[in-house]
């Protein structure tokens, strides 16, 4: 039994590695390439979201600018309890804005021939595999 265990473990890991390295079809890569380009062309813009969300708060724009600048520069600024609540609300509003953006991107992905799970799987492989990145880049520059 002790001799069989290492052999079984080796077989298990070999199968796991081989299944993780399944080759993606050229057609799937072309579809992925088109979708990925659209995703890159439509990033979530944090500054635009922040400007839009700040307008929904009750803090004057100049004060919010001071607070946010101090936050990014590490300076200490005394905040009232209202301002703390408003910053929490700003964060929540921006998270909602990001969720809406992500939903829009997911809807765009699903409108193609590829489902979301498959896209995410290929994207994960794409970020880890230089050879796959080169293959996708070649496909996207052919057209």
- For residue 10, being part of any structural domain is answered with no
- For residue 16, being part of any structural domain is answered with no
- Whole-structure pTM value: 0.71
- For residue 127, being part of any structural domain is answered with yes
Residue 31: domain span = 24-142
Domain count, the chain: 1
- For residue 109, being part of any structural domain is answered with yes
- For 11, phi then psi, to 5°, come to -65, -45
- For residue 134, being part of any structural domain is answered with yes
- For residue 81, being part of any structural domain is answered with yes
Contacts of 34 (CB under 8 A, 6+ apart): 112, 140
Report the run of H or E that residue 56 belongs to, with start and end. none
- For residue 85, being part of any structural domain is answered with yes
Query: Looking at the predicted structure, is the pLDDT value of residue 43 above 70?
Result: yes
Q: Residue 130 has what pLDDT? A: 93
- For residue 133, being part of any structural domain is answered with yes
Q: What residue has token string 């990925």?
A: 36
Of the pLDDT bands very low, low, confident and very high (cuts 50, 70, 90), residue 15 is: low
Contact assessment for residue 125 and residue 24, using Cβ atoms and an 8 Å cutoff: yes
Task: Note the pLDDT tens digit of each residue in 85-137.
Answer: 999 999 999 999 999 999 999 999 999 878 899 999 999 999 999 999 999 88
Contact assessment for residue 35 and residue 107, using Cβ atoms and an 8 Å cutoff: no
Q: Rounded to 10 degrees, what is the CA torsion of 29, 36, 110, 101?
A: 170
């Amino acid at each position: 039994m002790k001799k069989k265990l290492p052999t079984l473990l080796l077989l298990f890991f070999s199968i796991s590695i081989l299944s993780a390295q399944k080759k993606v079809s050229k057609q799937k890569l072309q579809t992925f390439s088109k979708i990925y380009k659209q995703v890159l062309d439509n990033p979530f813009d944090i500054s635009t979201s922040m400007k839009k969300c700040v307008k929904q708060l009750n803090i004057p724009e100049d004060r919010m600018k001071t607070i946010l600048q101090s936050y990014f520069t590490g300076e200490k600024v005394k905040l009232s309890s209202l301002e703390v609540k408003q910053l929490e609300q700003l964060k929540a509003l921006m998270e909602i804005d990001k969720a809406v953006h992500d939903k829009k991107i997911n809807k765009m992905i699903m409108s193609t021939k590829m489902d979301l799970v498959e896209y995410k799987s290929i994207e994960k492989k794409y970020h880890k595999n230089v050879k796959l990145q080169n293959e996708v880049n070649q496909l996207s520059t052919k057209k």
